[in-house]
């Protein structure tokens, strides 16, 4: 007999169900076992005198043991759980669970130690159902627009994001690095004439940051496309893609998110275009409105506090949860960003609910200018293999990198430790 998922059970039919024991009441004459699978919960009602052969097994059942039950689904208004119960014919214990070492409200580090148990709740399962819909929507949107999905190497010969730390590893008799982004390779795909590419893959950063938004390994959603006129084309593509994705998440999981995470996280599909401000305008407004100031020397980039305050600012000024930020100082941005005649990097960050989710830009595709910019940052030799990509013809292009874990955590108001299936941080390499 084939297994039926709990959500698909129809009263009046014979079913075989399997799952974890969510709840268990073993009375003198009756036993009530609530079985949970990923789609829902159902009560199995055992009248003991009708099943003498089951009694020994029933006495072995513990919470979170895994069982399989074959029987008949029966409508019963007295059953609180959906008005259906299973009257069993057979019951098999697949696995007996020891007493659980954590509870739903245990400290986060204990929960991460036993992540596979922590993930058994409906609330935590939603994180990954949402993430699945999110990446499926992004992928669908891009495939519809002729993007190619590509896979770039994660063991590489040079660091691509000089601003952040890199993991170095032994590579036979030499060294290699874990990729901090697919930056060089998505641009190589432009030099290869692919025109439009994206990748959803792991990214590694040796950052010793203990914040709610930093991990040492995360999932990056990167894309790159050719024949753009300006970085504003890249921003436009991103806001269209995100609006579509958020619409899909709202439709599929909007109600579940509110039910399990609270009204505060109700998904609202954003209005286009998203607001845009320069870094200087943000500091000016934040000083005027909230008395927030930083020394002049820090004004080339947004501080973490300034970034958080943009949530309030974007709401007050534009009624938006999003804010594009432009005109960063060139010493705060990577050498591969194109700069205008004033030396201003032609790139942006996108902030959602006060947290950066994306960096992007038009890239410098002119070989001589790119070599000069790399040399200025002292990188000329390190990135020579990369600058070669631009010697033999390369279209103008741009793109961005989007943090999948950041998006997930912001949808639900959780930390990155919970948004990742398995969190990797400076102090965490297990499970
Ligand atoms: P950047 O370094 O800004 O840009 O990274 C892109 C996006 O990745 C996410 N992110 C992180 N998520 C979790 N933990 C971290 N430690 C972490 N660091 C970054 C953020 C961020 O916006 N090559 C460029 C992108 C491009 O220009 O195409 C890059 O890597 O959401």
Average pLDDT value over all residues in the chain: 96
Distance CA 171, CA 59 (A): 55
Question: Does residue 111 contact residue 121 with C-beta atoms inside 8 Å?
Answer: no
Q: What is the mean pLDDT of residues 253-260?
A: 98
- Comparing C-alpha atoms, which of 423, 430, 357 is closest to residue 210? 423
Strand partners, 72: 14, 87
Tokens 């009441």 -> residue? 25
Contact partners, residue 381, CB within 8 Å, separation at least 6? none
Smallest CA separation from ligand 1 atom 24, residue: 401
pLDDT reading at 395 higher than 60: yes
* pLDDT, tens only, 60-96: 999 999 999 999 999 999 999 999 999 999 999 999 9
pLDDT at 164 (0 to 100): 64
Enumerate the H helices of 84-121 as residue ranges: 108-113, 115-118
Find out whether the beta carbon of 42 lies less than 6 Å from any atom of ligand 1.
no
* pLDDT, tens only, 162-198: 656 899 999 999 999 999 999 999 999 999 999 999 9
Q: In which band, very low, low, confident or very high, does the pLDDT at 380 lie, cut at 50, 70 and 90? A: confident
Q: How far is the CA of 204 from the centre of ligand 1 (A)?
A: 10
Share of the chain above pLDDT 70, in %: 99
pLDDT at 379 (0 to 100): 86
* pLDDT, tens only, 281-334: 999 999 999 999 999 999 999 999 999 999 999 999 999 999 999 999 999 999
Strand partners, 221: 200, 402
Find out whether the beta carbon of 420 lies less than 6 Å from any atom of ligand 1.
no
| Burial class of 314 by CB neighbour count within 10 A (0 to 12, 13 to 18, 19+) | buried
**Which ligand 1 atom is the nearest neighbour of the CA of 360?**
27
pLDDT reading at 398 higher than 60: yes
Find out whether the beta carbon of 199 lies less than 6 Å from any atom of ligand 1.
no
Q: How far apart are the first and last CA of the chain?
A: 36
Torsion-angle region of 190 (φ positive above 0: left; ψ -120 to 50: alpha; else: beta)? alpha
Find out whether the beta carbon of 361 lies less than 6 Å from any atom of ligand 1.
yes
Among positive and negative, which fits the CA dihedral 243, 249, 252, 256? negative
Work out whether strand 30-37 and strand 66-75 pair parallel, antiparallel, or are unpaired.
Answer: unpaired
**Which ligand 1 atom is the nearest neighbour of the CA of 220?**
8
């Amino acid at each position: 007999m084939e297994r039926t998922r709990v959500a698909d059970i129809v009263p009046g039919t014979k079913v075989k169900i399997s799952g974890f024991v969510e709840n268990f009441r073993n009375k003198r004459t009756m036993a009530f076992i609530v079985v949970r699978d990923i789609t829902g919960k159902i009560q199995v009602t055992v009248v003991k005198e009708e099943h003498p052969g089951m009694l020994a097994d029933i006495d072995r059942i513990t919470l979170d043991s895994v069982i399989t039950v074959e029987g008949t689904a029966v409508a019963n208004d007295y059953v609180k759980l959906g008005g259906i119960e299973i009257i069993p014919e057979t019951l098999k214990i697949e696995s007996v669970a020891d007493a659980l070492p954590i509870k739903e409200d245990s400290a986060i580090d204990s929960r991460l130690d036993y992540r596979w148990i922590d993930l058994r709740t409906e609330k935590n399962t939603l994180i990954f159902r949402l993430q699945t819909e999110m990446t499926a929507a992004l992928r669908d949107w891009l495939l519809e627009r002729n993007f190619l999905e590509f896979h770039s190497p994660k063991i590489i010969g040079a660091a691509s994001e000089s601003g952040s730390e890199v993991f170095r590893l032994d590579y036979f008799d030499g060294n290699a690095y874990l990729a901090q982004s697919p930056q060089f390779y998505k641009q190589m795909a432009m030099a290869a004439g692919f025109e439009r590419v994206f990748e959803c893959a792991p990214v590694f950063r040796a950052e010793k940051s203990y914040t709610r938004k930093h991990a040492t390994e995360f999932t990056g959603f990167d894309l790159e496309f050719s024949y753009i006129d300006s970085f504003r084309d890249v921003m436009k593509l991103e806001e269209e893609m995100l609006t579509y994705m958020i619409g899909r998440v709202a439709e599929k999981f909007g109600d579940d998110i509110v039910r399990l995470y609270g009204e505060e996280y109700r998904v609202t599909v954003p209005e286009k275009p998203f607001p845009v401000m320069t870094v200087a305008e943000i500091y000016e407004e934040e000083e005027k409105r909230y008395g927030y100031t930083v020394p002049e020397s820090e004004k080339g980039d947004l501080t973490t506090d300034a970034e958080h305050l943009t949530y309030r600012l974007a709401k007050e000024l534009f009624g938006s949860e999003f804010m594009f930020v432009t005109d960063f100082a060139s010493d705060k941005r990577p050498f591969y960003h194109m700069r205008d005649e004033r030396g201003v990097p032609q790139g942006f960050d996108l902030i959602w609910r006060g947290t950066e989710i994306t960096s992007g830009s038009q890239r410098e595709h002119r070989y001589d200018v790119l070599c000069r910019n790399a040399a200025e940052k002292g990188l000329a030799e390190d990135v020579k293999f990369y600058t070669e990509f631009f010697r033999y013809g390369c279209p103008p292009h741009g793109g961005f990198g989007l943090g999948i874990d950041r998006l997930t955590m912001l949808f639900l108001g959780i930390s990155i430790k919970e948004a990742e299936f398995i969190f990797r941080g400076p102090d965490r390499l297990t499970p």
